[in-house]
Amino acid sequence: MAGVTETHEIDLTASFKAYDVRGIVGETITAESVRAVGAAFVDVLGLAGQKVLVGGDMRPSSPEFMEAFAEGALARGGDVLKLGLISTDMLYYAAGVQQAAGVVFTASHNPAEYNGMKMAKAGAVPVSSDTGLYEIRDAAQAYLDAGQIPAVERTGTLEESTLLADYAAYLRSLVDLSGIRPLKVVVDAGNGMAGATTPAVLGDAELEALPLTIEPLYFELDGTFPNHPANPLEPENLRDLQAAVVKHGADIGLAFDGDADRCFVIDEKGEPVSPSAVTALVARREIARAKADGEDTPVIIHNLITSKAVPELVAHDGGRAVVTRVGHSFIKAVMAEESAVFGGEHSAHYYFRDFFNADTGMLAAMHVLAALGEQDRPLSDLAEEYEPYVASGEINSEVEDKAAMMDRVEQQFGVEGTTTSRMDGLTVAADSGDWWFNLRPSNTEPFLRYNGEAKDAATMQRVRDEVLAVVRG
């Protein structure tokens, strides 16, 4: 029997979220709870006698958790393949190429005291609350409550493997950077997994050198995040990168989050390129490639708060844009349903059909490098094409009754000459095309999130201020 040695009780509902598992190490996630989840993962997904992939990021607790998960999975008959240190998109790569289910231990951009799990089925299909995550939680909770994990007659086998070189070669097969003009690239890994993946994919650590000079920032793998949080969504975490791009006279800056599945882009002036602009740029390249392969109308997915420049460009280039709710499980599901070639979100998640409908920041970065390196203009000029509108960015307001407030805003702003939608929160758009905004309730905090966009700065500010005046009373 795989025993349970710790005595304090753990309630798994505290760490199991809609799309992944995330908790505070030693409190809501422990080796004991992870061992139980490993066992439940095999039980619920029917993986006895099948390969189970186990990897983790550079957080101090990840090695112990990988070990504990493997113990639980082995006890219930799973054949564990330990992958060691991996980024989240490396798990998706392995799950796709090897057609095996697996887990990566990471808490993405969360602070050092956190860790968690992202799970995937064979083919990199996400495990979420709709596809088995809560069943795994409940089965693991039963093991914890019982105080033991009974071993099955045929316990699993244990092997180890490394993925980095194969992952790098796979990405390079999708975007050829060998013929671009020489570029100087500053990469801020934030002490996260991009410190390992960047030298492998963009450098010469595993494969032949590309025409790229990499200026590394915070490549040391250190899950205590000594320099800044590995969350490039927050502007203050981009400042070091912005300064370094200007200092080195670089062509481009790239910032990754802790588990390296999201990528943010900085131009040669040190200014951010919006994720919507990156979505539009990559969409153009993927539509052209799919058409060259004989696809009539390639599909591009975007969530409802990306810039309307995205669907406009997709239509212009002969693709078909499909809008979804915010959130990777929605996008991945629609990617599969529509056989979409690419999908992008305002939060810098980028999804590719050629990458098992999963998200990878590195592949998106390679597309931007290719687009930049195939022509002579600086990135600020190139990006301008893809950013015709002025965006507000995300603005949070604390609201107790979020539903009532959205109704109130709809009554006030959903007037003649506008169109409203309730696909995800409330979206109100001017029929003239001059502006739109979205109010979306947070699932985890008492916030309404405002995102808006307009034809010019004055209109964006006016609509923003009018809506927020109602929301904030």
Distances (CA, A) of 12 to 18, 24, 28, 29, 300: 13, 12, 7, 8, 37
**In angstroms, rounded to a whole number, what is the distance separating the alpha carbons of residues 188 and 165?**
21
Q: What is the pTM of this model?
A: 0.95
Q: Where are the alpha helices (DSSP H) in 293-417?
A: 309-316, 328-338, 361-373, 379-384, 402-413
Q: How confident is the model at residue 328 (pLDDT cuts 50, 70, 90)?
A: confident
For the chain, helix (H) and strand (E) counts, in that order, are: 14, 24
- Taking the CB of residue 417, how many other CB atoms lie within 10 A of it? 7
What residues contact residue 380 under an 8 Å CB cut-off, 6+ apart?
A: 267, 268, 269, 271
Is pLDDT at 277 greater than 90 in this prediction? yes
For 375-391, the pLDDT digits (tens) are 999 999 999 999 999 99
Is pLDDT at 1 greater than 80 in this prediction? no
Q: What is the mean pLDDT of the chain?
A: 96
**In angstroms, rounded to a whole number, what is the distance separating the alpha carbons of residues 36 and 39?**
5
What's the whole-number mean pLDDT along residues 5-16?
79
Note if 442 is an active site residue: no
Sheet harboring 320-324: ordered strands across? 320-324, 299-303, 342-344, 350-352, 358-359
Is pLDDT at 365 greater than 50 in this prediction? yes
- The single residue listed with the structure tokens 């112990």 is 64
The answer to whether the CB of 90 falls within 8 A of the CB of 55 is: yes
Q: How confident is the model at residue 19 (pLDDT cuts 50, 70, 90)?
A: confident
Out of 33, 108, 329, 392, pick the active-site residue.
Answer: 108
What's the whole-number mean pLDDT along residues 124-136?
94
What's the whole-number mean pLDDT along residues 438-463?
94
Q: Of 67, 72, 57, whose CA–CA distance to 20 is shortest?
A: 57
What's the whole-number mean pLDDT along residues 186-199?
98
List, in order of start, the domains of the chain with CATH numbers: 2-162 (3.40.120.10), 165-269 (3.40.120.10), 275-384 (3.40.120.10), 390-471 (3.30.310.50)
Encoded amino acid at 369, one letter: L
Ranges assigned E (strand) in 367-455: 390-391, 395-398, 418-421, 426-430, 435-441, 447-454
Is pLDDT at 7 greater than 50 in this prediction? no
pLDDT for residue 330: 84
Angle (deg, nearest 10), helices 361-373 and 194-201: 40
